[in-house]
């Protein structure tokens, strides 16, 4: 496969993954699909999980992956960036994508490890309060569904966060692999050409 065609093969999944990351990050602001938690976030303790506010999915997995995807896609188009210079530039753009993927990966990992912000109570703390009951559990709550009942509001917030942060984590891993592969592809394209005819 020539380097130009390979760039197109890399760019198209990057578009999809960037879109998925942006959507997941936006939805995370509305646990239980309710806007009231965003409106009440100024309350003591907050109502939104802290890692959601980092916007790692929107910025890292979204914008910082979308910009390289556009340039990488252009390196596969005739009479545009499908030349040695374009492939050389794609290495730098892909490096930006790698940084964005690492940021998204870090935010999603922290979100999973620390758990959601919720109104919670248990046998040791019978008075319900807003906070992060699983923050110091180092992610052990993930395998014990009984602990998920501690969170009273928003309803199903543990499953909600788990599903969306896991999706962000997988998307970031794939983006990291694709961008790293494009850095290698860009190097070969810079040295050998793009198979696009005249360069």
Distance CA 134, CA 3 (A): 47
Kindly state the tokens that stand for 129: 């309060």
How many C-beta atoms lie closer than 10 Å to residue 93's C-beta? Answer: 22
- Consecutive H or E run containing 173: helix 157-192
Distance CA 145, CA 155 (A): 14
Comparing 51 with 6, the larger pLDDT belongs to 51
**Per-residue pLDDT tens over the stretch 141-161:** 888 888 888 888 888 899 999
Statement: residue 64 has pLDDT above 70: yes
**Per-residue pLDDT tens over the stretch 74-112:** 776 666 665 667 777 888 888 999 999 999 999 999 999
Distances (CA, A) of 104 to 3, 9, 154, 199: 27, 22, 24, 36
Kindly state the tokens that stand for 87: 């492939």
Q: Residue 101 has what pLDDT?
A: 95
């Amino acid at each position: 496969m020539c380097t130009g065609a390979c760039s197109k093969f890399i760019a198209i999944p990057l578009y999809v993954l960037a879109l998925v990351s942006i959507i997941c990050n936006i939805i995370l602001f509305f646990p239980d699909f309710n806007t009231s938690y965003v409106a009440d976030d100024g309350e003591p303790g907050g109502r939104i999980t802290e890692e959601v506010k980092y916007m790692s999915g929107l910025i890292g997995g979204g914008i910082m992956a979308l910009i390289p995807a556009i340039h990488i896609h252009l390196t596969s188009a005739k009479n545009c960036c499908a030349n040695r210079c374009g492939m050389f530039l794609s290495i730098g753009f892909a490096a930006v994508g790698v940084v964005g993927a690492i940021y998204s990966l870090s935010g999603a990992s922290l979100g999973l490890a620390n758990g959601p912000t919720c109104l919670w109570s248990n046998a040791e703390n019978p008075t319900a309060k807003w906070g992060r009951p699983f923050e110091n559990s180092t992610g052990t709550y993930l395998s014990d569904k009984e602990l998920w009942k501690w969170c009273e509001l928003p309803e199903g917030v543990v499953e909600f966060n788990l599903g969306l942060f896991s999706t962000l984590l997988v998307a970031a891993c794939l983006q990291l692999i694709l961008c790293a592969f494009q850095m290698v592809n860009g190097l070969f394209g810079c040295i050998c050409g793009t198979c696009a005819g005249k360069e």
